With several copies, the nearest count.
Chain A
Amino acid sequence: MLQENAIIEINRQVAPGIYYLRLESPGIFSRSHPGQFIHINLGTTYDPLLRRPMSIFNAEEDRISVLYQVVGRGTEILSRFNPGASLDIIGPLGRGFEIKEKSRHFLLGGGIGSAPLVYLAHQLHRENRKAIFFLGMRTEEFLFLKEFLPSDLEFYFSQENSPAGHPRLITDLLAPHLESPEKTALYCCGPEGMYRQIGRLCGGKNHFSIQVSIDRRMGCGVGTCLGCAVKVKNPPREEPEIVRACVEGPVFPWGEVFANEL
């Protein structure tokens, strides 16, 4: 965890409202793992005041990158930084995905949530593990992601606006792959509704290990403001425990967060 003034190499729109930002950040690069995030300072104005958390989209050769969607003022400001400028970032933050010793690895991304899974896909690829990428989208706005993935990665996508009979939800994609008793690790990143659906499909099954990345509004990003509370089950204690998405997360075992809801 360190603060770095990272030089912007690329900050380019790759799809409507979606930007790819690549930073020279050797310190953070060398410490980062898939699922972790950085905290970006948007400049000297007090408005907006806080840093913005962004997952690490990929990390290669002293560079880290971020894929972000312009949804508000902060991301809008970010999109206007030019290459060559420097960004004050903190990272890598949080606990990323734990790569499990399973025979299959399923990466399930919902929309922009897919960002950290790209880094994970490359990591799995480097480790020669068998992986499948499942992408859920509203229309086709995230199809470009394929270009950022290892070229030989098995890849499926669903679109909410698909005609009947075609996969509309990520669970439509997933279902056919669940028959096999193979031990499978699921890495999920998207809206919480998606996690619930995935859980209903395979939460109870022992040969699945599911991790989910939890999104919370963040203050500090480093564990001191307690703004990013997540309730987790923590057996043998009855009461849920309050942990921090920015330190104990953002990645949690699915069961810790959602098991009570099944």
Chain B
Amino acid sequence: MNSKLKTKIGSLQLNNPLLTASGTYGNGKEFSSFLDLHSWGGLVTKGLTLDSRTGNSGIRIVETPAGILNSIGLQNPGIEYFLREEIPFLEKLEIPVIANIAGRRIRDYEELARRLDPVPAVSALEVNVSCPNVREGGLAFGTNPALIYEITSRLRVITDKPLIIKLTPNVTDVGAIALQAEKAGADAVSLINTLLGMEIDIEQKKPLLGNVVGGLSGPAVRPVALRMIYQVYRQISIPIIGMGGITRGEDAVAFILAGARAVALGTVNFVNPRAPLEIREYILKYMERHNFSSLNSMVGLAHQEREA
């Protein structure tokens, strides 16, 4: 562990800027045979809903050029089960655990926050207002600045834990939405969730995914993610957790220079479970090469140079 890599998301202290991206890492257990989970800066849980959900039927994952489309549909065993069965494992971890929550109505989110607020093993909440795979809602929140304000401020009253709003990229003006989250008291925003996409089975002449549309992630989306982070950084002053297609150390550095104070790794875990170790190493070497003594001093530098 190297203290140069420390970073902060609101009051949340991270030993390094690498987080797991929600929904791609289970709750960590599965990967513990590949690496020490404490190599991560923090662990973001898979998306939690109040009740258990069986997810979408039919094909749920398909490979696309340099990316994947998924339509898992928020399969998860529900908050009850999570608190009972998964917290015991998570509370033994010595890194922060961030619970990712999703719902259909604002009061689902409120209830989830109420249940998680008293749990010591949960260090922060990430609010998924942007899952494209649930037909009933989710996406609607994420695309509407007023609703983002509403949901953030309602959750703000319920919990003092750091509140991270996870934004969808499927909007005209992600900055405007981030701004509402900030105004309503969010401690950070994370972006991007997946881009809405689809694939067609031309032999069957119908959508390939059971849920018709799915979320695009992986290297293919990286330029879009980077642009949004760069853009949002100019509009808000709370921290940004950047993600979307990061697979190499170079990518993580680019996201940080664009303005991310932490970065999350998603799809890459499916290909290279050792990615966080390699990326952490790369960032350290990069910082040495460029004489950075703290991660903080790197954040957003791609803007400064431009103004110079």
> Do A and B come together as binding partners?
yes
Distance of B72 from chain A, by nearest CB (Å): 5
Contact A223 B62, beta carbon cutoff 8 Å: no
Contact A224 B31, beta carbon cutoff 8 Å: yes
* A153-192 at interface with B (beta carbon < 8 Å): none
A15 at interface (Cβ–Cβ under 8 A)?
no
B59 at interface (Cβ–Cβ under 8 A)?
yes
Cross-chain contact of A218 among B31, B46, B61 (Cβ < 8 A): B61
Cross-chain contact of A229 among B34, B46, B55 (Cβ < 8 A): B55
Contact A242 B75, beta carbon cutoff 8 Å: yes
- Chain A residue nearest to B62 (CB atoms) is A217
B68 at interface (Cβ–Cβ under 8 A)?
yes
- How many contacting A-B pairs (Cβ < 8 A)? 91
Contact A224 B70, beta carbon cutoff 8 Å: no
* A1-44 at interface with B (beta carbon < 8 Å): 1-3, 41
Also in contact, A217 and B65, with CB within 8 A (given A2-B33, A224-B30) = no
Interface residues on B, range: 35 or more
Contacts of B65 in A (CB 8 A): 46-47
B297 at interface (Cβ–Cβ under 8 A)?
no
Contacts of B34 in A (CB 8 A): 1-3, 90
The stretch among B1-9, B101-109, B235-243, B268-276 that forms the contact with chain A is B268-276
A50 at interface (Cβ–Cβ under 8 A)?
yes
Cross-chain contact of B63 among A2, A49, A242 (Cβ < 8 A): A49
Contacts of A46 in B (CB 8 A): 65-66, 218-220, 247
Contacts of A221 in B (CB 8 A): 270
B60 at interface (Cβ–Cβ under 8 A)?
yes
Distance of A256 from chain B, by nearest CB (Å): 16
* B247-271 at interface with A (beta carbon < 8 Å): 247, 267, 269-271
Contact B30 A49, beta carbon cutoff 8 Å: no
Cross-chain contact of A41 among B25, B70, B267, B271 (Cβ < 8 A): B271
| Interface 1/0 per residue, A188-211 and B, CB below 8 Å | 000000000000000000000000
Contacts of A1 in B (CB 8 A): 33-34
Distance of A30 from chain B, by nearest CB (Å): 14
Contacts of B66 in A (CB 8 A): 46-47, 49
* B44-64 at interface with A (beta carbon < 8 Å): 46, 54-55, 57, 59-63
Contact A49 B271, beta carbon cutoff 8 Å: yes
Contact A50 B63, beta carbon cutoff 8 Å: yes
A84 at interface (Cβ–Cβ under 8 A)?
no
B24 at interface (Cβ–Cβ under 8 A)?
yes
A220 at interface (Cβ–Cβ under 8 A)?
yes
**CA distance in complex: A228, B273 (Å):** 18
Contact B270 A225, beta carbon cutoff 8 Å: yes
Contact B70 A227, beta carbon cutoff 8 Å: yes
| Interface 1/0 per residue, B184-216 and A, CB below 8 Å | 000000000000000000000000000000000
Contacts of B270 in A (CB 8 A): 50-51, 219-221, 224-225
A143 at interface (Cβ–Cβ under 8 A)?
no
Supply 10 further A-B pairs (C-beta < 8 A) apart from A221-B270, A247-B30.
A41-B271, A49-B267, A90-B34, A90-B273, A220-B270, A224-B26, A224-B269, A225-B61, A226-B75, A242-B55
Interface residue ranges, A against B (CB under 8 Å): 1-3, 41, 46-51, 88, 90, 217-229, 231, 239, 242, 247
7 CB-based A-B contacts, threshold 8 Å: A3-B273, A49-B63, A49-B66, A219-B70, A220-B30, A225-B61, A239-B54
Interface residue ranges, B against A (CB under 8 Å): 23-26, 30-31, 33-34, 46, 54-55, 57, 59-63, 65-68, 70, 72, 75, 218-220, 247, 267, 269-274
